[in-house]
Structure 1
Amino acid sequence: MSFAEAARTVGISTRTGERWRNGRGASGRIKAYPPINAAPIAEPTAPSRYLRETDRIHIADRLQEKATIRAIAAELGRSPSTISREIRRNGTVLADGRWHYRPYSAQRRADARRPRPKLGKIGQNPELHDFIQSHLALRWSPEQICHALRRRFTQRPEMRVSHETIYQALYSQGRADLRRELTQALRTGRARRRPRRQADRRRSRAVKNMVMISQRPTEAVDRSVAGHWEGDLILGRKKHSAIATLVERSTRYLMLVHLPDGYNSAAVRDALIATVSTLPPHLKRSLTWDQGTEMAAHHGFSIATNVPVYFCNPGSPWQRGSNENTNGLLRQYFPKGTDLSTHTPEDLLAVAAELNSRPRKTLSWETPAERLHKLLAA
């Protein structure tokens, strides 16, 4: 088209078209405008996870044409939820109450939200921050705190976060939502997050007359009946001291066994006999252990307590999953590399009582003590 035809098609005068084409110099309070044919700043052509300004202009134009969200999303190669979220976040309410989407205003809002790092949800809410920080000091896990918030603040969505949000508030660099030293109260106590490592292979131990876990009663496998226990040792510095742990499979109730005379087979047998003998008869059904030599005297234990002992397969800690999980929790109280012989039986009772009063996800957020109390009351 000629210049005059183009001006008439757009609907402007030729004088305005000349200003658009040739630009306009600054005059008084009027700022200068570049020519229309000036080389624009090229946007990157590679796909981006973020909407660009051209995408937002397209959204605004199509909304003026009454196009649907799904149609706009298909044209831009985006998810419909992305377009819907963009309109809801960056739209503008006009003076007459109507909702309007302005692409350049939307771009400015998006650019203002993008810089990192920024203060997270925990840092913006002092009440939420204090609740999480106080329960971390009590050695609650982030997931336990998350569900406690849901149960306590049912009508306040601003007081709910996911457990991953708590982890990021602790570990993300540049954030100050939670004190970094609270990572010592987590199960691992690590100052940095790291991926899971493959467990070291365990050597099989020669224990005579073992009855394997495959012969354990079905009621112990499906946890339908209480009284079936899992046991193991946690070792201290240079393996010179140990504590025996017993976890009931149905209620996850924990009992800690003091081993002041070492953890050879005779000492472990006598300590387990003394502990298990305090249980009522209906809570003494079976005991599952790994193939450690500390249970070489299992036959004498079974005769004294009438509790059969079943042994896991070599290198299969998941067959005693409740006990392995509990041993990990106990490392908050008995860190690796410390002397466990310094702890008295009263210390062990206090630790067991604290763990038995923690809510558990697998118990629908009841505590082991509550579940055992219901069982005994029934």
Structure 2
Amino acid sequence: MGRPAGWTTKVTGRPAMRSPGRPPVRRDVERAFWLKIAEGLTSEDAALACGVSGPVGSRWFRDRGGMPSIQLSPLSGRYLSFAEREEIALLRAQDTGVREIARRLGRSPSTISRELRRNAATRCGRLDYRASIAQWKAELAAGRPKTAKLAADERLREYVQDRLAGLIQAPDGRLVPGPATQEWKGRNKPRRQDRRWATAWSPEQIAKRLLVDYPDDESMRISHEAIYQALYVQGRGALERELVTCLRTGRALRVPRSRARQKAAGHVTPDVMISERPAEAEDRAVAGHWEGDLIIGTNRSAIGTLVERTTRFTILVHLPRMEGYGVEPRVKNGPALAGYGAEAMRKALTAQMANIPQQLRRSLTWDRGKELAQHAQLKADTGIAVYFADPHSPWQRGTNENTNGLLRQYFPKGTDLARWTAGDLEAVAGALNTRPRKTLGWRTPAEALDDQLLSLQTSGVATTP
């Protein structure tokens, strides 16, 4: 005959709850995961630190758009914790009474009685209390689902979408479709490819403009954070996820602030930071201190640039593609065949430095690119000390940044730089080095370098490499 319908509701005092099979991960674990994310850890590292697998952490981060969907502050003591529920389960298995359990936990007997009745496992046909099942049922019952404002108000949703993803129009009202874009696959921040042309108001602009367009309509109000959440959080049912391509960043996931502030690149250690560079390099009184960088072209092409801080003398480093580029399949953790990987860069710089007198090889300041990951070997091969600028601080290499701007006259952005030979680069460098400079008193960098070499000779210092 079995049990009558609705017996669990009558016994437990709550509606029947569908069993999820294996109970999901507890909220306190997920809460700890998002706190680790806020500290700047990757989703995989944060998951492992909280005792779950890396793929689970990646799924949490992706499905929630990089944003926590639960409250991160710890629960108040009003609610039973998982540790307390484990204690209840152990004491209950020992046939301890409700009042004794309440006394040991410092809780009210009614709290324990209600917990044992409402959150017990019922799948076996009787009320068996298990801590994991009780925690899952408590978290499920505590949920307070709320319909998003954009999902409930069609007029507000259309206003937001029209200004976020509206079409571009010419002054005469003609629609300008823009480039044909690839299908959005949910990946983060498309790079170096055509993006959708849209009106692209920012969420903050939309939220503030509502006050101007509807000053007396309180229903037409929404915060910019609510718009961001409607875009990033999967399953909110308000805005389509692919509308994130209309944001100026094009970012499909929100990047935690601490992660964005992390100092990138493990090859940059405290002893090679620009703060450790000799003070003589700052005032440009002594020649031999260089600044370097790459100018990047299409199809993974690049040219290395070296500029001497005192004389502004420029050297262009030819970085041809390595054998097998475009033919052999890419190998994970394999050599970079594009020509400006760490090993190729070290060899090219070593060859260039061999033509520079030893007394003019005092230091080299680079940005934080991984192309100079083998800087220790470069120092051993050439004797030049390598230092790295601080993150997002191009002014610390201002001479090189200015020179790269001049070089864009010859090597514009969006062009393939691999087509130029070493002789072509030498000719362009010669044009810059024979151009008069105001900062040099209208002398050329070549003349300024000759003066430095002459001063080395007259002071009795050998100038051989």
TM-score bin (small chain): 0.3 to 0.5
- TM-score, normalised to structure 1's length? 0.46
